[in-house]
C-alpha cells in the first residue's frame, strides 16, 4: 500500500512516445512542492481519497473554508494573477503593450509569449488557446483525443482575438460528461475543419496561420469509460473509495460511474492511499 498526504493541485501531464497521456500527482505541503507520484500504474488498483477538512489557498497558503476559481481564497481571486480575467478570456490581455491586468512579471512570463490557437476533439471539435510550450498538456488536461495547431501568435491577446472570431462557428467549451464517456458530436476530420475555418478568418491574421497540419492523437489510461458519469465532491463525500478505472482530462474515473475532478479540489488537503 502507498499513502501520501497532499494539498491537491491539478495533475501534471505529458504525452509519451506512444502518444499516451502520462499522469503524475504533485505532492504539496500547502505551498511547498515536495515531489510527485506517478498515477498511470495505479489504474485497476484500489484507491482511497480522505479529506482532512483543511483547505489552503493555492496562492497565499491561507486556511479557508471554500475556494473561488480553482483553489483561491476570495482575496486572491480578486487580486492574484492566477485569477486574472485574461486566463479565461485571452483577448483581454494587454501585457504586450506593457499594461498588466494583475501582475506585470507573471503576465510577461505567461502571456507575453508565443501562443497557439488550436482545434481539439473533446465532446465536440472545439477551439482554444494556450502557450506554445503547453500545447500537449493543455490537450490532455481537457481530455482531447486529437488536436491540431491552427495559428501561432507572438502574444496571448492576438491568439484570443482569433479564438473570438472562430467562436462564432464552433464550440469553445467541453461537455465533461460526454468527454468522459468517449462521445463526440462531430467526428469530421480536424484538418478539414481547420481548412474550412481558415476561409472564415480575415486576411490580417493569415500570416499567423500554422503551417503544421499534423493531427496529434492521444490515448488515455482507461480500463472502462463511465456510462453515466457522476461527479463526487469531497465537501459532501469526505472519503471516496473504490477501484481506479482510468484517468482522463483532470478526472480520476472510479467504479460505479463515479468521477473525481482533481482540479476542482485544488487546495484541499487529502490522504490518498493506493493498494
| Cα(2)–Cα(73) distance, integer angstroms | 31
Q: Where among 217, 233, 264 does a domain terminate?
A: 217
Does residue 115 sit in the same domain as residue 57?
A: no
Kindly report the CA angle at 72 between 127 and 59, in degrees rounded to 5? 105
pTM exceeds 0.75 for this model: yes
Does residue 108 sit in the same domain as residue 163?
A: yes
CA–centroid distance for 59 within its chain: 18
Number of domains in the chain: 2
Helix (H) or strand (E) holding 79, with range, is helix 74-79
Does residue 259 sit in the same domain as residue 190?
A: no
| Pairwise pLDDT comparison (171 vs 234), residue with the higher score | 234
Does residue 164 sit in the same domain as residue 191?
A: yes
| Cα(125)–Cα(166) distance, integer angstroms | 12
Domain coverage including residue 234: 2-80+221-274
Does residue 69 sit in the same domain as residue 86?
A: no
Query: Which residues face 197 on adjacent strands?
Result: none
257-to-51, 57, 227, 228, 242 alpha-carbon distances in Å: 21, 30, 6, 6, 11
Q: What percent of the chain has a predicted confidence (pLDDT) above 90?
A: 95
Q: Where among 201, 217, 233 does a domain terminate?
A: 217
pLDDT, one tens digit per residue, over 155-202 is 999 999 999 999 989 888 899 999 999 999 889 999 999 999 998 999
Is 9 in a helix, a strand, or coil?
coil
At residue 172, the pLDDT reads 83
Does residue 189 sit in the same domain as residue 159?
A: yes
Amino acid at each position: 500500500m502507498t499513502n501520501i498526504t497532499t494539498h491537491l493541485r491539478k495533475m501534471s501531464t505529458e504525452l509519451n512516445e506512444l502518444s499516451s497521456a502520462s499522469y503524475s500527482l504533485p505532492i504539496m505541503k500547502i505551498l511547498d512542492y515536495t515531489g510527485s507520484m506517478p498515477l498511470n500504474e495505479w489504474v485497476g488498483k484500489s484507491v482511497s481519497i480522505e479529506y482532512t477538512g483543511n483547505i489552503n489557498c493555492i496562492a497565499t497558503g491561507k486556511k479557508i473554508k471554500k475556494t473561488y476559481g480553482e483553489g483561491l481564497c476570495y482575496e486572491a481571486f480578486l487580486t492574484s494573477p492566477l485569477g486574472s480575467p485574461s486566463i479565461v478570456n485571452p483577448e483581454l490581455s494587454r501585457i504586450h503593450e506593457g499594461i498588466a491586468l494583475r501582475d506585470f512579471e507573471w503576465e510577461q512570463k505567461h502571456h507575453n509569449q508565443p501562443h497557439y490557437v488550436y482545434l481539439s476533439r473533446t465532446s465536440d471539435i472545439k477551439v482554444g488557446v494556450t502557450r506554445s510550450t503547453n500545447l500537449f498538456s493543455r490537450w490532455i488536461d481537457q481530455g482531447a483525443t486529437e488536436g491540431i495547431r491552427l495559428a501561432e501568435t507572438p502574444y496571448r491577446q492576438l491568439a484570443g482575438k482569433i479564438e473570438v472570431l472562430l467562436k462564432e462557428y464552433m464550440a469553445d467549451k467541453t461537455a465533461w460528461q460526454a468527454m468522459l464517456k468517449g462521445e463526440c458530436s462531430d467526428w469530421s476530420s480536424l484538418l478539414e475543419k481547420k481548412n474550412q475555418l481558415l476561409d472564415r478568418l480575415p486576411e490580417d491574421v493569415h500570416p499567423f496561420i500554422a503551417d503544421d497540419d499534423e493531427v496529434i492523437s492521444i490515448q488515455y489510461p482507461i480500463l472502462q469509460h463511465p456510462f453515466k458519469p457522476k461527479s463526487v465532491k469531497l465537501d459532501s463525500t469526505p472519503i471516496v473509495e473504490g477501484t481506479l478505472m482510468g484517468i482522463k482530462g483532470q478526472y480520476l474515473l472510479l467504479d460505479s460511474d463515479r468521477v473525481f475532478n482533481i482540479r476542482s479540489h485544488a487546495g484541499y488537503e487529502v490522504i490518498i492511499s493506493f493498494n
